[in-house]
Structure 1
Amino acid sequence: MKKSNAIRTHKAELHSRNPHRGRYDFAVLTKASPALSPFVQLNRFGNESIDFADPQAVKALNQALLSHFYGVAFWDIPPGFLCPPIPGRADYVHYLADLLADSNNGVVPRGRTVRALDIGIGANCVYPIIGNRTYGWQFVGSDINAIAVGTVQTIVRSNRCLSGKIEARLQKQQNHIFNGIWKAGEHFDITLCNPPFHTSEAAMTAESDRKWRGLKKDQQPAAAPKLNFGGQADELWCEGGEEGFICRMVQESKAYGEQCYWFTSLVAKQASLAGIQRVLKQTGAAQVRVIEMAQGQKISRFIAWSFLSPEQREDWQSSYWTMHNTAGLEAE
Structure 2
Amino acid sequence: MTLKIKEKPFEKQNLHPRNPHRFQYDFKALIQSCRELLPFVQINKYQNESIDFSNPEAVRTLNKAILKHFYNIQYWEIPANYLCPPIPGRADYIHYLADLLDIKTKHISLGKIITGLDIGVGANCVYPIIGHQTYGWNFVGTDIDPKAIQSAQRIVNANADLTPFIECRLQNSSASIFKGIIEANEKFDFTMCNPPFHASLAEAKAGTQRKWQNLGHHKAQQKESLNFGGQHAELWCQGGEQAFLIKMIEQSTQISSQCLWFTSLVSKKTTLPALYKLLKTTKATVVKTIEMSQGQKVSRIIAWTFLSEDEQKRWKLDKWQKNTK
TM-score, normalisation: structure 1: 0.90
Is contact 1:122-1:148 (8 Å) kept?
A: yes
Q: What do the CA deviations read for 1:7-45 (whole angstroms, capped 9, x no partner)?
A: xxxx95210110000010101101111111110000001
Q: What is aligned with 1:94?
A: 95
5+ long unaligned stretches in structure 1? 1-10, 326-332
Q: What is aligned with 1:8?
A: none
Q: What is aligned with 1:268?
A: 267
Q: What displacement does 1:220 show?
A: 4.6
| Pairing 1:238–2:210 present | no
Change (3 A) 1:12 1:295: farther
Between 1:201-210 and 1:72-81, the stretch displaced more is 201-210
Structure 2 counterparts to residues 1-332 of structure 1, below 5 A: 12-101=13-102, 110-221=110-221, 224-321=223-320
Is contact 2:81-2:225 (8 Å) kept?
A: no
5+ long unaligned stretches in structure 2? 1-11
TM-score, normalisation: structure 2: 0.92
Structure-1 separation of matches of 2:44 and 2:154: 35
Q: What displacement does 1:107 show?
A: 7.6
Is contact 1:198-1:237 (8 Å) kept?
A: yes
Q: What displacement does 1:164 show?
A: 1.2
Q: What displacement does 1:179 show?
A: 0.6
Instruction: Write the letter of the residue equivalent to 1:273.
Output: L
Instruction: Write the letter of the residue equivalent to 1:274.
Output: P
**% same residue:** 51
Q: What displacement does 1:322 show?
A: 6.6
Q: What displacement does 1:297 show?
A: 3.0
Moved over 3 A (4+): 106-110, 219-222, 321-325
Structure-1 separation of matches of 2:162 and 2:155: 8
SS of corresponding position for 1:182? coil
Q: What displacement does 1:296 show?
A: 2.8
Is contact 2:208-2:224 (8 Å) kept?
A: no
Structure-2 separation of matches of 1:281 and 1:211: 36
Q: What displacement does 1:225 show?
A: 4.6
Structure-2 separation of matches of 1:154 and 1:229: 20
Q: What displacement does 1:219 show?
A: 4.2
Q: What displacement does 1:212 show?
A: 1.0
Structure-1 separation of matches of 2:157 and 2:241: 32
Instruction: Write the letter of the residue equivalent to 1:290.
Output: T
Between 1:190-199 and 1:206-215, the stretch displaced more is 206-215
Change (3 A) 1:225 1:30: farther
Q: What displacement does 1:112 show?
A: 1.3
Q: What displacement does 1:321 show?
A: 3.9
Structure-2 separation of matches of 1:142 and 1:291: 24
Q: What displacement does 1:298 show?
A: 2.8
Structure with more contact order per residue of length (Cα contacts < 8 Å, sep ≥ 6) = 1
Is contact 1:115-1:139 (8 Å) kept?
A: yes
Is contact 2:106-2:134 (8 Å) kept?
A: no
